[in-house]
Each structure stands twice: as structure tokens, then as C-alpha cells.
Amino acid sequence: MLPDLSDIDPRHLKIRLADAGNAQGIRIFCPCGHIGQLEIVPLIKRYGPEITFSHVERMARCEKCGGKHGLDARPIYTARIGSAGYST
């Protein structure tokens, strides 16, 4: 049986960008309210396949307020439904 991970903050898991499946990018949330986006492939090319979401959070800086603390990096997933190409 798999452990229940529902109470674990995903930022504490060392998830590599290379293991993010078909993520389209990374969305970074700043405490000031700004939301930025980065592409995954250039980050992997620059920093290598071992880079994690935690590394991105520590390296990123908000373009709006300049802050580096409290950033939250999450993968962006989009799905196509039927032939109409809707995304979520």
C-alpha cells in the first residue's frame, strides 16, 4: 500500500523537473500576488537533469517586487479534451 502523502507540502518533496511528466512549464507564485511562468526545458539544459522544484524556488526572484522568499513553484499541466482543443 502506498503512503498517504496528502498532508505533505509538495515543496518538501525533491521532485526533479525532468520527472514532471508532460508538464508544460512552471508557475511561480510570490507572496506579493505576482504569478510568473518559466519553461522547463531551458532550465534542465542550463542546470542539468537533477534540478528540482525546490531549487527553482530558491533561485527565482519575483519580477514585480524583487522578493526571493516564500516563492512557490508548481508544474503547469494542460489537457486536451476531445478534438476541440480545450485546455484546463
Q: What is the pLDDT of residues 35-87, one digit of tens each?
A: 999 999 999 899 998 888 889 988 999 999 999 999 999 888 876 555 455 44
Per-residue confidence (pLDDT) for residue 62, from 0 to 100: 94
CA–CA gap between residue 49 and residue 41 (Å, rounded)? 10
pLDDT at 28: 93
Say what the pLDDT of residue 14 is. Answer: 79
Domain positions in the chain: 15-76
* pTM for the structure as a whole: 0.71
pLDDT number for residue 46: 93
Q: Which residue has the higher pLDDT, 50 or 3?
A: 50
